[in-house]
Amino acid sequence: MRLRRLYLKGAAALAALAALLAIATVVRGDLGTTEGEIFATIAATFVAGSAAMAGIACLAQRSRFLGGAGILLASGAFLLWVEEIWADHDSDAYWKLLGLVLVWTLVTLVGTTSALMARTQRRLHLATLGCAAAAGLVVSGMILAENGDLWQLFAVLLILTLLGEILIPIVERASPAGEPSAERELGTLDGVSVVAVRLGGKRIVRIGERETPLEAAASVVLRRS
């Protein structure tokens, strides 16, 4: 929960900074080529920054593949797009590369954000990620072939992906495991509180952000080292 709050606060701060920079650019007066490049850089920073923060949060939750892919693609996409925005290359192959990197950055962003939201709805998360990956494959094929014949399939997959992103927090909130947990303090040990938590029937031991599942017959015993 703390990681998700950190991600949301970071995304909000990044959005606020982008808005302030955009306002400052508009207030300056005439909008020319340089101002357009500034706006494009702000947009690239927002997308890449959001993807990178979500990737870092996933790494902290031990989703190493998604987290690492999110950080790597976000960093690469930011560098490539900012370089293109200010250098203005005239190369079809380079634009295809930019398109592919952007597509898969967005796919990993869907995966990382849905993973952060889905504490119990893992199947819905995997289904959403699968639709996003399928949509990424379809649009990547269209970019490489310079052919938009599969746009309807892409649109369907995109709609399903967005549906999954919307449903995950709703279903999480509606499910018993997504309800606020009931806590009862059992005592203290060397200034550390020992708390019993009821969380949708799951048996876990939580130390900080780390969660360890317990078997049905297992118990937890605290001993002085």
Would you say residue 112 has pLDDT above 80? yes
Given this model, what pLDDT does residue 12 score? 72
Q: Are residues 171 and 187 in the same domain?
A: no
Q: Is residue 48 part of a domain?
A: yes
Q: Are residues 122 and 186 in the same domain?
A: no
For residue 196, name the pLDDT band (cuts at 50, 70, 90): low
Mean pLDDT of the chain: 80
For residue 138, name the pLDDT band (cuts at 50, 70, 90): very high
Would you say residue 131 has pLDDT above 70? yes
Q: Are residues 98 and 14 in the same domain?
A: yes
Q: Is residue 73 part of a domain?
A: yes
Would you say residue 178 has pLDDT above 60? no
pTM listed for this prediction: 0.68
Question: Would you say 81 and 102 are in contact if contact means Cβ atoms under 8 Å apart?
Answer: yes
Would you say residue 186 has pLDDT above 70? no
Would you say residue 130 has pLDDT above 70? yes
Cα–Cα distance measured from residue 75 to residue 27, given in angstroms and rounded to the nearest whole number: 30
Of these ranges, 24-38, 60-74, 94-108, 162-176, the one predicted with the greatest mean pLDDT is 94-108
Cα–Cα distance measured from residue 61 to residue 24, given in angstroms and rounded to the nearest whole number: 37
Q: Is residue 220 part of a domain?
A: no
- Structural domain boundaries, residue 201: 181-213
Q: Are residues 157 and 203 in the same domain?
A: no
Q: Are residues 17 and 45 in the same domain?
A: yes
Kindly report which listed range (8-17, 96-105, 131-140, 196-205) carries the lowest average pLDDT score. 196-205
How many residues are given for the chain?
Answer: 225
Q: Are residues 42 and 139 in the same domain?
A: yes
Given this model, what pLDDT does residue 24 score? 73
Q: Are residues 127 and 39 in the same domain?
A: yes
Q: Are residues 208 and 155 in the same domain?
A: no
Cα–Cα distance measured from residue 62 to residue 66, given in angstroms and rounded to the nearest whole number: 9
Q: Are residues 13 and 114 in the same domain?
A: yes
Q: Are residues 119 and 205 in the same domain?
A: no
Given this model, what pLDDT does residue 103 score? 95
Higher-confidence residue of 54 and 207: namely 54
Given this model, what pLDDT does residue 7 score? 62
Would you say residue 3 has pLDDT above 60? no
Query: Residue 56 has which token pair?
Result: 């870092």
Mean pLDDT over 123-133 rounds to: 94
Would you say residue 141 has pLDDT above 90? yes
| Residue keyed to tokens 């040990």 | 189
Beta-carbon contacts of residue 62 (< 8 Å; ≥ 6 apart): none
Of these ranges, 72-86, 126-140, 165-179, the one predicted with the greatest mean pLDDT is 126-140
Q: Is residue 167 part of a domain?
A: yes
Q: Is residue 43 part of a domain?
A: yes
Cα–Cα distance measured from residue 3 to residue 88, given in angstroms and rounded to the nearest whole number: 38
Tens of pLDDT, residues 26-77: 776 656 677 778 778 888 888 888 888 888 888 877 678 888 999 999 999 9
Higher-confidence residue of 131 and 184: namely 131
Domain count, the chain: 2
Cα–Cα distance measured from residue 25 to residue 38, given in angstroms and rounded to the nearest whole number: 8
Q: Is residue 153 part of a domain?
A: yes
Q: Are residues 187 and 171 in the same domain?
A: no
Q: Are residues 98 and 115 in the same domain?
A: yes
Q: Is residue 119 part of a domain?
A: yes
